[in-house]
Amino acid sequence: MNVILLGPPGAGKGTQAKRLVAKYGIPQISTGDMLRAALKEGTPLGLEAKKYMDAGALVPDSVVVGLVKERIQKPDCAGGYMLDGFPRNVSQAEVLDGMLVELGQKIDHVVCIEVPNEELLVRLTGRLTCRSCGGGFHLKFDPPQKPGACDKCGGELYQRDDDNEATVSSRLKTYADSTEPLINYYANQGKLRRIDGVGSMDEIFGRVTAILG
């Protein structure tokens, strides 16, 4: 099963993807996580990407498309995968469609998680992420048992550089301008399923799994 998780910054794509990985045993492919990993390693690609990420803009398609093309051909993707944060504009979606034809694959479901902007801002400015395992928490909605430490691995929790109010507002604008058109793109392919992303994380998980089966 190949799935795309679509939705604005803070909608809960990463949160749900981690739960879906556990349920379906298919990997999460988050282009944002891949770019942050490249930055952590200090690669030229990561350093270049940071300029765009800090501005709340999209990293050039050529960079991201190459990463995804390589990733979806890895052996762990043979039984399916979950794309989180890719594609992010119509041209990435078109390239992905071409890639899928070439590889003899197809997307089965596109799940768009919808959350109002005011809620997204609260979610993002309170988000905490584990430096070691990538686990996600929230200061108010999902606080760690011990402040500053990951419940799962004890790693240090940090706030993403792009989770400040100014960058969040640019990211929301980028989403509206570049990514929202994908809703029509996938609706036209008959693959789009929209879900209400407001509610508890368990409730949202129930809504997503009701679609994926």
Cis upstream peptide for 144 (omega within 30°): no
The residues in 55-74 that bind ligand AP5, with binding defined as CB under 6 A, are 56-59, 64
Residue sitting closest to ligand AP5 (CB): 32
Indicate whether 31 belongs to the interface with ligand AP5 (CB under 6 A): yes
Phi and psi for 167 in degrees, rounded to 5? -70, -35
Query: How far is residue 148's CA from residue 154's CA, in Å, rounded to a whole number?
Result: 9
CB 34 within 8 A of CB 71: yes
Catalytic residues, which ones?
13, 88, 127, 160, 171
CB 10 within 8 A of CB 120: yes
Q: Classify strands 127-130 and 157-158 as parallel, antiparallel or unpaired.
A: antiparallel
Tell me which residues in 117-156 interact with ligand AP5 (CB under 6 A).
Answer: 123-124, 127, 136-138, 141-142
Interaction between residue 32 and ligand AP5 (CB under 6 A): yes
Q: Does 109 bind ligand AP5 (CB under 6 A)?
A: no
Nearer to Mg ion, 8 or 14 (CB): 14
Q: Kindly state the helix (H) or strand (E) to which residue 114 belongs, with its residue range.
A: strand 109-114
Residue 32 in contact with residue 74, Cβ under 8 Å?
no
Select the binding partner of residue 83 from ligand AP5, Mg ion, none (C-beta < 5 to 8 A, by kind): none
Residues 6-25 that bind ligand AP5 (CB under 6 A): 7, 9-15
- 4: DSSP letter: E
Q: Which of 35, 107, 112, 192 binds ligand AP5 (CB under 6 A)?
A: 35
Binding site for ligand AP5 (CB under 6 A): 7, 9-15, 30-32, 35, 52-53, 56-59, 64, 85-86, 88, 92, 123-124, 127, 136-138, 141-142, 171, 199-201, 204
